Amino acid sequence: MRNLLKSVGMDWKDTTVNNDTDTEWYQYFQNGLESDSKLDYNQNNHRWNKCSGDGIDFEITDNEKQRYISFLIKIPQLYDKLKHWPTTEQKILLLAVARIMSYNEQTFIKINTNDTYNSLVKMTETTTSTLVKVRYMDMLCSFVEHDAGLKWTLETQYWKNIWNLVLQCQDDNCDDINQKIYHILSKFLQNTSKCAPKICQHVVKQMIQPIICSADKHYPKTKKQPIELVNPEEYQNFPPTVKCLIEILERLWANNETTSDALKYFLTLRDSCETLTLLSNNGESSLQLNRILTILCFYEMIELFDGIKVVNQDPLVLSGFFKIFEREMKKGNFDGMWKLLYYGQKYCHHISKKVPQYFQKGKSIGIGDELTSFQIEPVVVLGEKLSVIPFPQVTECDELLRDALIGDLLSSVSESCVQLGYEVREQYVRAPMGSELTALKCIIKTKPYYSRECRAKVFQGLIFSFKDFITYIKRDVELKDTEHNQLIAEAMLEAIFVFLNDFDLSWRESLGSLEVYMLNYQFFSCSMNWNSNVVILGLKILNITTLKNLTDNMILLVDYSNEHDEMGIMLMDKCASSNVGVRKAAMAVICTICQKINEGFESYKQILLHYLTPEVILTKAINDSNHSIRAIALSCLQEIIMMEEFEGYLSSTIFIDKILDIIAKEFDQMILKVSVKLIRQICENDKNETIDNLLKIYKVMSRVAIQERNADVQEEAVKFWKFVTKRNLELQGMIDDVFPNITFSKEHKKIIRLDDKEICKRIIRALDNMSKTGCLYVYQQVLENSETPTQVFSTTLEIITKLWKLLRRYDVTPELISINGTYPQQWSIDSGILSPTTNWVDNDEDMRELIEEMINEDITEISCPDVKFL
């Protein structure tokens, strides 16, 4: 029963009540469900997370099935006795269980022998709860999965009310419920279109009737009757119907391989939508009706040319889409046009393999390419719309690139598309500013549907538009800070950033992307008063172009120092911003710059030397009010550690103490993790052992490794001790986890041979040093603590296993280690394995037990990789 309740998103506590009159219903649920040994409580499991599942994804045994059938069969009898229904939560559970059990035909028949389903229907009729109604519709949908359920559905006629229930349950304030309703209804239509087409046809007729009646009302009955526009108030009655129609059609269209039978019943709606859009001046209503029209046009085209591979006319002309688009152009509804292009791309994406091919001059013309050419148009001509006087002459190279883009666009579209595109351009250039924001937003939304070639064209068009916008802003200081310019800048930068995110390095795209880096400088130099959203997007673009080497020099791996001073000044200014988003974006750029310095672009280093020094970055890591910014600043310091110029400061006592203070006082887990890793990297980078406060480091890192309760932070601390283990063994001559045959002895200042006896001595010396630092004790405490997270325990066990294998390889046994004695004829451990001042363990016997466990405990059966001390 645990799996059953989880599948319906319910908790047993959702079915309990306090009312004494409901005691018997409560007892019914308790006997039927709670006593099941599989029942599991989950208070965080939301009731509706699987409301419209397509069946069950777990196995129900025969005994469990009989138990659930018995549970449902008793409902009519119990209601006749009590004369009232259970609580709303209990109704929800009953309907959900009934839905799951009804998918199987034999189970359905058994449950219905006692007229259970009629009782559940009556129970639903008494409720006003939207959630109960949704569960009820979901149950009805499960009946049409088999012949017995379909027969019962036809006899009872309960399905006739499903459309009214959908309209009742739609809620503008709860999109989650709406999506579940649309899923249920589309699935119902999909199933009935195959097994009971009359039911499907009847429900579709109910859905489309309001629009057809409205169109008939306004359509002129005679040629002399004047055409009157539809009153905008009349459209207020459409939204619930139209919204549901669009959602259902989009779901059926997305699955058109199996649902074409259901879509054909909507075709009678096409003429009515044409009439209403023609008589409407309401942009939003026209868009909704045009979305319906577009799906029906594409569907009719696919059905008409089913099996035909090649046609002699543009598919967008044949489908009627150009007619819809042209009608909105004549209205001057440019916002609606750009939105319609997005939906056209979205709907075409589902039929790309079904559309018949159209050839022009031997070249195949794709629907996606043609729609893309229209989407680029408002972007490319933005400069022309913005110019009051002609722009300064562009460079010959830039002019050639623009011509190449236009030529590429023209060669990939039909003559009909070119002709319509010219008309759009003529009207759009003369139209007032405003719709370019919609065009840019629609391009961003359409990106998932573009082919690689189309993405390249759109991106190049965005770069040309960005250049024109910068030129426009530079010309007149008074135009810089207007609200509309701020919005254009934000939309344009967002579009460029979205396309750069998954940059594909082809020749055409690289031409545009290599300009973005410098265009950003020009853009920021135009004005210092861009709003925070614009600045953040500009910094994100700067970050991604730097990260992906998208400059003309970096792409060729050539270091270049120009503009770095200006960048340093700009980043300092943005790091001091009062806006958290701006500071975070600026710090991310600094972190990327640090990475690039370590990759060989050392000219960036002057930014760290003269502007954003490690001291400045450390101050941000300590004092910034935002935890994410502090964590990024610490990540910057991790990169700076690798640079020789700053080695002295980053290994100084002052710097290390400040990082240790962060670890001691900080509660944010991300900052703690990065700080602990930073300390490890500082120690790893200290090749000459110049750190003075190692004892303090060991004490702090021991506490974190043992006491920290966040698994990621604790694991990072254990990795520090893994480094300590590796370092101590390397100091005794180990190289790459192996002791060489010969080595240079710093103590004797000569080359010596390392036999097993010498290696054994050196390993014991390493163990002595490790125990004095507290390293072995940390491992012991982590492994013995029953609350240690699995990932931390695993990491620690890997280290100990590796160490144990090393001891066994060179026959280091407990007999060779005398806690207060001597190692015969070779070496003495005169102060015990642990330093008596550390007080980390009570006595030396604890350490002996650990050593004996490491050597003698049989862990050969433990599956553990041969981990290196890295």
Instruction: Report DSSP state, residue 364.
Output: E
CATH 1.25.10 boundaries in the chain: 311-685
Helix (H, G, I), strand (E, B) or coil at 828: strand
Q: How high is the pLDDT of residue 456? A: 86
What pairing do the DSSP bridges indicate for beta strands 310-311 and 357-360? parallel
Q: Supply the pLDDT for residue 506.
A: 56
Strands (E) in 701-791, as ranges, are 742-745, 750-753
Using CA atoms, how far apart are residues 445 and 447, in angstroms rounded to an integer?
6
Distance between CA atoms of residues 717 and 24, nearest Å: 57
Q: Which string of DSSP letters, residue by residue, matches 110-164?
A: HHGGGTHHHHHHHHHHT---HHHHHHHHHHHHHHTTSHHHHHHHHHH-GGGGHHH
Q: Can you give the pTM of this predicted structure? A: 0.79
Q: Which residues fall within 8 angstroms of residue 532, CB to CB, at 6 or more apart?
A: 577, 579, 581, 582
Among 320, 191, 182, CA closest to 251? 182
* Residue 580 CA, distance from chain mean position: 22
**Residue 777 near residue 699 (C-beta atoms within 8 A):** no
First to last CA, the chain: 48
Beta carbons within 10 angstroms of residue 103's beta carbon = 17
What pLDDT, on the 0 to 100 scale, is given for residue 217? 82
Residues in the chain with pLDDT values less than 50: 1-21, 35-57, 259, 388-389, 507, 818-844, 847-848, 851, 854-868, 870
pLDDT for residue 711: 94
- For residues 762 and 658, give the distance between their C-alpha atoms in angstroms, rounded to a whole number: 35
Q: What are phi and psi of 303, to 5 degrees?
A: -70, -40
CATH fold of 311-685 reads: Leucine-rich Repeat Variant (1.25.10)
